[in-house]
Amino acid sequence: MAVLDRAGTVAAAGARSVGIERRRRPWRDRLPPIVAALGLLAAWQLGAWAFGLPIYIAPTPAQVARTLVAELPILLRNFLPTAVESLIGFLVGNTAAILVAVVFVHSKRLEAAFYPIAVFVNTIPVLAKAPILVLIFGLGMTSKVVIAAFICFFPTLANMVRGLQSVNPQSLELMRVLSASRSEVFWKLRVPSSLPFLFSALKIASTTSVLGAIVGEWIGADLGLGALIIEATHNFRSPLLYATIFVASGWAVVFFAVVSFVERRVVTWKPAEAH
Amino acid sequence: MTIPAEPAVRLDSATVRFMSERGAITALEKVSVAIPAGGFVTLLGPSGCGKSTLLRLVADLVPAAEGQVTVLGGTPATARATRQLGFVFQDPTLLPWRSALDNVRLPFEVGPRKGDARGRRTPEELLRLVGLGGREAALPHELSGGMRQRVAIARALVTEPRLLLMDEPFGALDEITRDSLNEELLRIWQETGTTILFVTHSIPEAVFLSQQVLVLATNPGRVRELVDCALPYPRALRIRETTDFMRIAAHLRALLETC
């Protein structure tokens, strides 16, 4: 019976494109990762006990959870600026990337001139870029927004350029037979074709923008999860450090989930590569 | 069937050349042919004989290097800009994010004459005409290959083109689907009265559909012979078992072997 049941689950996973199947068994798909996560937490807890590790080296999950509750006001106060910085950075960086991609697609010359520069700037590690941007934009939130925006910019630019150019050549011929104008080809063909590419980039950006904001806060900030990480590390407050990391990751996961949700709503078709 | 004096398409020594790394390639050389208005003419020939190029020349997708091309009394560019051409590609070329109905509506949403492009038949009626009534909301990936090609045909017909150009539209389909679409295409042709220029490399398909088959030879692409298919319409698939049909098919096969 168990074997049969397992086969049934596999078949359901194979039939994922069928909407009913997907809706009917969400908990079955979600169970394995939940079990795995709980198992790892249990192993961590047991390991910390078994080896008698001091709390400042490796706090147990239970200690981290207690800190998470006890220090919630501090965590929330530091969470807010990081959330705002990463969100605005996400919006600014991706908007800029989309606009630059549109310009590149319309002008081969500008693309040839500026794409290598974009690649070069992208190769500078964020840890090297961040101090420069803090020098320019100061210790306030602006510098963190700019760092988060920078970190989002390149993946979205590269994907969006590819997306806008991914149009099927025969679709372009169809548009020509229909005497479509350049702007009609852009809005009716290029933009929708690029959306699957854009959302791949936005999903990356949703998590890296949080990373960017935190790195920016490391360089210098009074408030923010990055600042709290530094402070907790320096004061050997490991449970607080872990709790802060938990909040930062949680925010990135929520951000990612929201972008994925919007993607499923927008990209309802099968992109060309999926055929 | 009487053939009106003014042909829908006239080619006078039309030559098409493509530039490649090894210099110019002549895809079509001095092709002269007249396609009668309201007619169904098929272009048949081996790969590389320029049959698709001829279709693209008429559709204003490639320019003529020499000679003259007259489409519906004007240039190919005018015919295209005034929405008198419909084009069906081998690949359905549907926009994957649009429903079947919205794909058929696309010609109303683009182009300089989108406002007055509406024909007598609505997109909904055309989907019913091609046998897809009830599937208006389906996205292309939810339809079979044959259904997708039907949507593409409905889209080509929605502007009521006087000339329908079809580039191996059923080439990628299985034989049973192809047969049924062939029958439907003849029905649509007789219902709409449009001129059809059809490219295929299937001899039975060419004989079954057309009034005339234009056989092209390769290297360079040129006219080999214009063969009449004097079989009565309406035609049913059974006609393929008649001796007349087989005689024409055998003649075409012999021609193709020497192309």
Residue B96 to residue A176, Cβ atoms within 8 A: no
In a domain, B161, yes or no: no
In a domain, B121, yes or no: no
**Is B87 an interface residue toward A (CB < 8 Å)?**
yes
Contact list in B for residue A272 (CB cut-off 8 A) is 96
Q: In this structure, is the dihedral angle defined by the CA atoms of residues A85, A90, A94 and A97, taken in order, positive or negative?
A: positive
B116 in reach of chain A (CB within 8 A): no
Q: Which residue of A has its CA nearest to B98?
A: A269
B80 vs A177, A195, A270: nearest CB: A177
In a domain, B124, yes or no: no
| Residues of chain A contacting B89 with CB distance shorter than 8 Å | 170, 173-174
pLDDT at site A88: 97
User: Chain A to chain B, count of Cβ pairs less than 8 Å apart?
Assistant: 66
pLDDT of residue A6: 38
| DSSP 8-state class, residue B219 | T
Q: Helix A238-266 to helix A72-106 angle, to the nearest 10 degrees?
A: 40
Residue A266 near chain B (CB below 8 Å): no
Q: Which of B81, B109, B113 sits opposite A188 (nearest CB)?
A: B109
Question: Dmax of chain A from CA atoms?
Answer: 76
Quote the percentage of chain A above a pLDDT of 90.
71
**Residue B113 belongs to a domain:** no
Q: Indicate whether A70 pLDDT > 80.
A: yes
Nearest by CB to residue B111, choosing from A173, A179, A271, is A179
Q: Which of A170, A174, A175 to mutate to test the interface with B (most CBs of B within 10 A)?
A: A174
Residue A38 contacts B where some CB pair is shorter than 8 Å: no
Could you tell me the CATH number of the domain that includes residue B29? 3.40.50.300
Q: 162-181 in A: which are within 8 Å (CB) of B? A: 168, 170-171, 173-181
Token pair in block for residue B13:
């020594």
- Is any Cβ of chain B less than 8 angstroms from the Cβ of A188? yes
pLDDT in tens, A128-181: 989 999 999 988 899 999 999 999 999 999 999 999 998 989 999 999 999 999
What is the residue type of B145? G
Q: What is the average pLDDT value for chain A, to the nearest integer?
A: 87
Whole-number percent of chain B with pLDDT over 90: 68
Q: What letter does residue B118 receive in the DSSP assignment?
A: -
Q: How far is B163 from chain A (nearest CA, A)?
A: 12
Q: How confident is the model at residue A18 (pLDDT cuts 50, 70, 90)?
A: very low
Q: What is the pLDDT of residues A219-252, one digit of tens each?
A: 888 899 999 999 999 999 999 999 999 999 999 9
- Give the pLDDT band of residue A13 (cuts 50, 70, 90): very low
Select the residue of B80, B86, B109 nearest A179 (Cβ to Cβ). B80
What whole-number distance in Å separates Cα of residue B26 and Cα of residue B16?
6
Asked if B110 is an interface residue toward chain A (Cβ–Cβ < 8 A), one would say yes
d(CA B14, CA B35): 14
Model confidence, pTM: 0.83
Q: Which CATH architecture has domain A61-274?
A: Orthogonal Bundle (1.10)
B222-259 residue pLDDT tens: 899 999 999 998 899 999 999 999 999 999 999 998 87
Question: Closest Cα partner for B156 from B142, B144, B167?
Answer: B167
- Cα–Cα distances in Å, from A93 out to A98, A131, B52? 9, 18, 46
Give A184's contacts (C-beta < 8 A, 6+ positions apart).
A175, B109, B110, B111
pLDDT at B159 over 70: yes
Contact between B224 and B255 under an 8 Å Cβ cutoff? The reply is yes
Both ends of chain B: CA-CA distance in Å?
30
Across A86-109, average pLDDT:
96
Mean pLDDT, all residues of chain B: 90
Q: What is the pLDDT of residue A235?
A: 92
For residue B100 the two structure tokens come to 């079947």
Q: How confident is the model at residue B131 (pLDDT cuts 50, 70, 90)?
A: confident
d(CA B149, CA B172): 10
For residue A127, what pLDDT is reported?
Answer: 87
The whole-number pLDDT of residue A5 equals 40
Domain residue ranges of chain A, discontinuous segments joined by +: 28-55, 61-274
Measure CA B199 to chain center: 6
Domain that holds residue B196: 1-84+182-259
pLDDT at A225: 95
For residue A11, pLDDT over 70 is answered with no
- The answer to whether the CB of B70 falls within 8 A of the CB of A151 is no
Asked if residue B231 is part of any domain, the answer here is yes
B225-B226-B231 Cα angle (round to 5): 135
Residues in chain B with CB shorter than 8 Å from the CB of A194 are: none
Flag the least confident range among A186-195, A265-274, B31-40: A265-274
Q: DSSP letters of A65-127?
A: HHHHHHTHHHHHHHHHHHHHHHHHHHHHHHHHHHHHHHHHHH-HHHHHHHHHHHHHHHHS-HH
Which chain A residues have a beta carbon less than 8 Å from that of B83?
179
Calculate mean pLDDT across residues B10-34. Answer: 90
What pLDDT sits at residue A239? 93
Is B117 inside any structural domain?
A: no
Contact B77, B56 (CB under 8 A): no
Per-residue pLDDT, A17: 42
Among A17, A166, A178, pick the best mutation site for testing chain B contact (most B Cβ within 10 A).
A178
**Inside any domain, residue B258:** yes
- Alpha carbons B244 and B246: distance in angstroms, whole number: 5
List Cα–Cα distances, A234 to A48, A61, A68, A238, in angstroms.
Answer: 22, 21, 19, 9
Phi/psi of residue A74, nearest 5 degrees? -65, -45
Number of folded domains that form chain B: 1
Q: Which residue has the tokens 């295209």?
A: B80
Q: Answer whether B83 sits within 8 Å of A179, measured CB to CB.
A: yes
Distance, in Å, from the CA atom of A109 to the CA atom of A214, rounded to the nearest integer, reads 36
Please check whether residue B131 lies inside any domain of the structure.
no
Minimum distance, in Å, between the CA of residue B81 and any CA atom of chain A: 6
Chain A residue with Cα closest to B159: A178
Residue B186 CB neighbour total at 10 angstroms: 19
